[in-house]
Amino acid sequence: MPPITPKTFRGTRDFLPEVMVARSDLIDRIRGTFELYGFSPLETPAIEYMETLAGKYGDEGEKLLYKLAYKGGDVLALRYDLTIPLARVAAQNPNLPKPFKRYQIQPVWRADRPQIKQGRFREFYQCDVDIVGSDSLAADAEILAMTVETLTRLDIGPFTVRINHRELLAAIIRAAGIPDDALMTASRCLDKWDKIGAGGVRAEMENEGFDAAVIQRLLASVDEDPKESSLARMGKLESTVRKFGGSEGLEKMKEIFQLLEALGVDEKRIAFWPSLARGLDYYTGPIFETFHDDLPHMGSLTGGGRYDNLIGIFLGEQIPATGTTIGIDRILAALQQTNRLQMAPSKTQVFVAVFDEDSMRSACRLAGLVRRQGFRTEIAYGAQKLKRQFARADRQGIPVVLIQGPDEQKEKVVSVKRLESGDQVKIAEIDLVKYLKEILE
């Protein structure tokens, strides 16, 4: 039998330790911010019934579902996102506390065309945070505040969270002369603005049969001037949208900005964006996406909004909900492209060298001693030359090496070598833990 060629499916990846250490650190910081805002963890199965997922993502999203045929005729699918599974959980567990504040960090799958530079993959992780059971705009504002704080803590560089409101967007589209039965079509065209630009949106709308004058009015009304403040943008649209059912959406947008100010959110990080549409059909109120200011080609780093009708599909009654997704893989790609990612092949702090075969027991005793004090420790498994052991520790980014040869054992001391500086000192065994705390903590 010929050997099997090792390979991964296009759009999927292995994460070797150097990347995985950085990735795990990012996820830990994201999780810490979620919990700071009072959210609790949830996990759901990778496989859902097709009927659970079907019809929730629009025509474009439906094509990207990985469908699975199962014996007995059941049609299953890999989860496309974490929002629909949350809706199922909320409907399946009606006694959950309300509001139910959950976060979820798990992989999702999409039969998409991979674009590595843009951070687009077929298998990728999402970090979702949602509030189920509250229709208060304070819930939307808190999601936005938490998004800003999360990305600030990750130190991704300059970013802007763009926000809009579905009612306001509908009024803008109506004001351009587009009837209600074509609102979703126009909205989906606008949703591609960041990928294909104004010219591409114009071409898409022409292909959908919209009149050229209508297209021009719509594009002119949503074109953003980066020098304008969010309140100025809303002010320009106010008289127009009030005639076409957008008054409530406009007032809600103003209230969200007031709540964000009260929460202490940096106003430079939030912008009203009238062209923002969000392609998913289930959004009903505020919608939001985040873009890296220096990497516009990257696409959205986060995206979400209010979806008050989605959970009701499973229950037959309306349950309000709002939330967002943080794309860890795109954030990782953004950090790499801006040289902000600190890579390390290991999180180990201490390497215990073995001086000779007779010193193995002494090395094991040392390793146990420092591990019990909470230091992440690796031990050599054989008595190679010390120079080779130092080189191995250095390659793994381990800052400290401990050596206890026969002479040190007799004197009850340990030689501590700091690899970055090359300094080496002898420390009494009784003082070793104290010294390690001084240099490592």
With bands split at pLDDT 50, 70 and 90, how would you rate the model's confidence at 214? Answer: confident
Residues 298, 384 within the same domain: no
Residue 7 lies in a domain: no
pLDDT at 285 over 90: yes
The answer to which of 139-153, 197-211, 230-244, 427-441 has the lowest mean pLDDT is 230-244
- Angle among Cα 270, 144, 56 to the nearest 5 degrees reads 115
**Which of 12, 296, 8, 11 is closest to 159 using CA atoms?**
296
Whichever domain contains 329, its CATH number is 3.30.930.10
- Bridge partners (DSSP) of residue 354 are none
| Phi-psi map region of 233: left, alpha, beta (phi>0 left; psi -120 to 50 alpha) | alpha
Helix (H, G, I), strand (E, B) or coil at 161: strand
Residues 332, 357 within the same domain: no
- Bridge partners (DSSP) of residue 403 are 415
Neighbouring CB atoms inside 10 A of 390's CB total: 18
Q: Write the DSSP assignment of 67-126 as a string of letters.
A: EEE-TTS-EEEE-S-SHHHHHHHHHH-TTS-SSEEEEEEEEEE-----BTTTTB-SEEEE
Helix (H, G, I), strand (E, B) or coil at 165: strand
Residues 319, 414 within the same domain: no
Domain count, the chain: 2
pLDDT of residue 279: 67
**Residue 2: is the preceding peptide bond cis (ω within 30°)?**
no
Amino acid letter at 357? E
For the segment 203-218, the average pLDDT, to the nearest whole number, is 88
For the segment 347-375, the average pLDDT, to the nearest whole number, is 94
For residues 149 and 384, the model is more confident at 149
Helix 230-242 × helix 166-175 angle, to 10°: 60
**Which of 329, 295, 299 is closest to 157 using CA atoms?**
295
The answer to which of 121-135, 201-215, 372-386 has the lowest mean pLDDT is 201-215
Structure tokens at 347: 């999180």
Whichever domain contains 398, its CATH number is 3.40.50.800
Residues 288, 370 within the same domain: no
**Which of 412, 353, 346 is closest to 379 using CA atoms?**
353
% of the chain residues with pLDDT over 70: 99
Residue 4 lies in a domain: no
Given 337, 365, 382, the domain boundary residue is 337
Give the pLDDT confidence of 41-71 residue by residue, as tens digits. Answer: 999 999 999 999 988 777 778 889 999 988 8
Residue 10 lies in a domain: no
Residue 8 lies in a domain: no
With bands split at pLDDT 50, 70 and 90, how would you rate the model's confidence at 299? Answer: confident
Give the pLDDT confidence of 107-150 residue by residue, as tens digits. Answer: 999 998 888 767 688 999 999 999 999 999 999 999 999 999 99
Structure tokens at 49: 């019934």
The answer to which of 73-77, 219-223, 267-271, 431-435 has the lowest mean pLDDT is 219-223
pLDDT at 407 over 80: yes
pLDDT at 298 over 90: no
Mean pLDDT of the chain: 91
pLDDT of residue 147: 98
State the residue range of the domain holding 385: 350-440
Q: Write the DSSP assignment of 179-191 as a string of letters.
A: -GGGHHHHHHHHT
pLDDT of residue 342: 81
pLDDT of residue 198: 84
Residues 319, 374 within the same domain: no
Residue 9 lies in a domain: no
Known binding-site residues for L-histidine equal: 81-83, 110, 126, 130, 278, 282-283
Known binding-site residues equal: 81-83, 110, 126, 130, 278, 282-283
Given 308, 337, 366, the domain boundary residue is 337
Residue 5 lies in a domain: no
pLDDT of residue 175: 87
The answer to which of 147-151, 192-196, 198-202 has the lowest mean pLDDT is 192-196
Residues 132, 207 within the same domain: yes
Residues 333, 367 within the same domain: no
**Which of 161, 133, 139, 140 is closest to 149 using CA atoms?**
161
Residue 345 lies in a domain: no
For the segment 384-411, the average pLDDT, to the nearest whole number, is 94
Given 313, 337, 361, the domain boundary residue is 337
Total residues belonging to the chain: 441
Residues 307, 355 within the same domain: no
Give the pLDDT confidence of 238-256 residue by residue, as tens digits. Answer: 888 888 888 898 999 999 9
Q: Which residue has the tokens 């009850």?
A: 412
pLDDT at 304 over 80: yes
For the segment 397-416, the average pLDDT, to the nearest whole number, is 95
Residue 189 lies in a domain: yes
pLDDT at 226 over 80: no
Residues 384, 302 within the same domain: no
From CA 370, how far away is CA 431, in angstroms rounded?
A: 12
Q: Are 309 and 199 in contact (CB under 8 A)?
A: no
Residues 140, 253 within the same domain: yes
From CA 78, how far away is CA 48, in angstroms rounded?
A: 6
Residues 405, 333 within the same domain: no
Helix 247-262 × helix 137-154 angle, to 10°: 50
Structure tokens at 133: 């059971």
pLDDT at 78 over 90: yes
Residues 294, 412 within the same domain: no
